[in-house]
Amino acid sequence: MRRRPTREEEFYCCAGCWVAHHLAGDDDDEGGGAAGRLLARLVFAAFLSMGVMVFSLSLYGEGWARSMGAGEGEGIEALRGLGMLGAGLLSVPIFLLLGVPLLEAVVRMRRWLSSEALILLGVLASLTISFWNMARGEGHVYFETASFVLVLVTLGRWLEASAKEKASAQLRALLPTRVDPVARLVGDGEESIDPGEVRPGDRIRARPGEVVPVDGVVIEGRALVDASPLTGEAEPRPVGPGDEVVAGSIPTDGSLVLEVTAVGRDRILARVDELLAESLRGRGRLARVADRFAAVLLPFVLAACAGTVAWHWSAEGPERALLAGLSVVLIACPCALGIATPLALWLAMGEAWRRGALVRGAEVLEDLARAKHIWLDKTGTLTEGELDVIAVELLAAGRELGEAGVIALAATLEEGSEHPVGRAIRRHSRKSRGACAPGHRIEEFRVLAGRGVEGRVDGRDVRLTRFDGEAGNAAGSGPTRVLLEVDGTPHAIFSLRSRPRPEAERVLAELRSLGFEPRVLTGDGPGPAALLAAELGVEVRASCSPEDKRDVVSAPGTIFVGDGWNDSPALAAASVGISVEGGVGRSLERASVNLLRPGLDALPELIRLARRASGIARWNLAWASAYNAIGLALAIQGKLTPVVAAAIMVVSSTVVVLQARRVLEARPQSGSFQKGAG
């Protein structure tokens, strides 16, 4: 009966990653000690490999001496014996350090037809023949080949495993770890309970500034509710009895009593391990192609080796037959295929991390490289999420006070308010010369739930309320507008909008230079959408629900960039979902890329990096496949000696590794790809 892999084993894409993780030690180690121990193993093994190479050079020196006519003297034989013995002795601890754990992983995870199994086959064949020839005192040895193969294999797997572990740790650090208590109404009083204890049918109180932890229906109170994390709209919406309030909303100016209709699971923290296992388990497509090729190659190589040995045995004798069979195994060792093909993507993931982008898997880079379409959320992504005053329209009665006077009155009225409109007017007041005149006093301040605020400023009745419009601007067809009334007379209309990020226009231009036609999805109405479209010269689709966004971005080859909970379905449905810095927990959970630095500057550079890495990985795959095919054909015909086969194998691996290193040559063109993720 076939053993099912454990959940822990399923987390790792290959036996090499399992080895890298378990050689590193416990996850709970602090200060990078676990990774340090694995790195120490690699460094020690690499140091021993250098010793193997030095002793192997003595064997090459023997051949050179004979070619110069030195003959078969005792000195030459002593040199040969010393070289074999030294290389053989040093190769044993290298195999114990790196080869035995890899063999254990292949057996434990039953990855019989994999690139790791083929690498082990080549290593074991090299060591077996080498020790056999050393015991016979003649023939070639290949200790240096086996040693360097193990070092390179483990180094490559360590790079991938480290990237995934770092991605997991960073994602957990970004997720919320604290939940505020809930005020549940009991009789004539209330009690403070944990959100996990709330049940459907309970009545809870949500005060201004508190995050509503559950879905519910308002049964008492009125307020403006900031639902920007959920709907993507910067402007709060009014709610009253009978209206639904979704978890994550924040009342801004009034207290609400809700009847709970639905409670969430311990949604993020309870699912984070499962989420990471699902998202980080996947191996890149090119790596999977290489694995499938290796799986087909292994039985073919075994058959080819047996056939080659039989053919040359009958034609040229057993010694020639064994050498030809060894050449077949060595030339087929998939170092280039199993290591350097995904190495370009591993290096790109590390470079992206260093530059402030957390990429959760090599396959994400491949999807980024192939993407043809890109959609961006508006609020919090292309805009900064805060409202800004863009115009103050003085009405007839307000001209006497002037613009500075009406701004000062409005700012004084909004003192102490945390409503987005109030914050915007206060900021505008601070920026406006002369608008912050001293001496204004506010009395009898009142919140008009769901409509605005009012009070007495310097003895005059002042009111600031939502304006839906006459003045040639129908509701919903322009920016957010509020009306300032003094003693019952309209004095001014303030127009507000969420301001674009400073880099938005430049980033859109860079995306166009990459062949994209960037477009925007927003939950805002047609007015704010039209303003953004005119300012940035981009197509904007307004009044999009989360389901609308999901349906639009679900087309193959689509990138979606967002930040709010309302973006979660779209982030999950897109080929590549990218969460910007500041995104809430669920958007981080669903995204395949997290931008860890403020702004969008990293986006075009990340796409360039992905395209470069994917191109290099494809080149490496083509090279490794061609090398294996041509090399096998020559080895089967007996035209390659084991020494030449091993040398070609090393050269091929070196070529693809150097080619993969070219990924790191892709430096930011605009200087804006933020440096340092942590």
3-state secondary structure of 172: helix
3-state class (DSSP) for residue 438 = coil
377 catalytic? Reply is yes
CB 381 within 8 A of CB 583: no
Q: 215 with 247: CB under 8 angstroms?
A: yes
**Cα separation of 342 and 335, whole Å?**
11
Identify the active-site residue in 202, 215, 253, 377: 377
Taking alpha carbons only, the member of 463, 500, 464, 494 closest to residue 479 is 494
Contact call for residues 394 and 403 (beta carbons, < 8 A): yes
Q: How far is CA 509 from each of CA 82, 365, 513, 597, 599, rounded to the nearest angstrom?
A: 65, 22, 6, 20, 15
For the record, the structure tokens of 93 come out as 């601890």
Give the SS3 label for residue 540.
strand
Beta bridge partners of 498: 387
Contact 281, 109 (CB under 8 A): no
C-alpha atoms less than 13 angstroms from C-alpha of 414 in its C-beta half-sphere: 26
The sign one gets for the Cα dihedral 351, 357, 359, 365 is negative
Q: Which residues contact 204 (CB under 8 A, 6 or more apart)?
A: 182, 183, 184, 185, 198, 214, 216, 257, 258, 260
Query: 577 with 592: CB under 8 angstroms?
Result: yes
Token pair 């007015």 in the structure block, residue: 527
Given the structure tokens 């403070």, which residue do they identify? Answer: 192
Helices 143-174/15-24 angle, 10° precision: 70
**What single-letter amino acid sits at 486?**
V
| CA distance readout (Å), 542 to 201, 350, 476, 524 | 35, 37, 11, 6
Candidates 507, 166, 572, 590; CA nearest to 358 is 166
- Close Cβ partners of 62 (under 8 Å, ≥ 6 residues apart): 76, 79, 80, 83
Residue type, 379: T
Closest CA to 357 of 579, 575, 119: 579
CA distances from 184 to 55, 188, 197, 203, 208 (A): 77, 11, 10, 6, 16
Instruction: Give the active site residues.
Output: 377
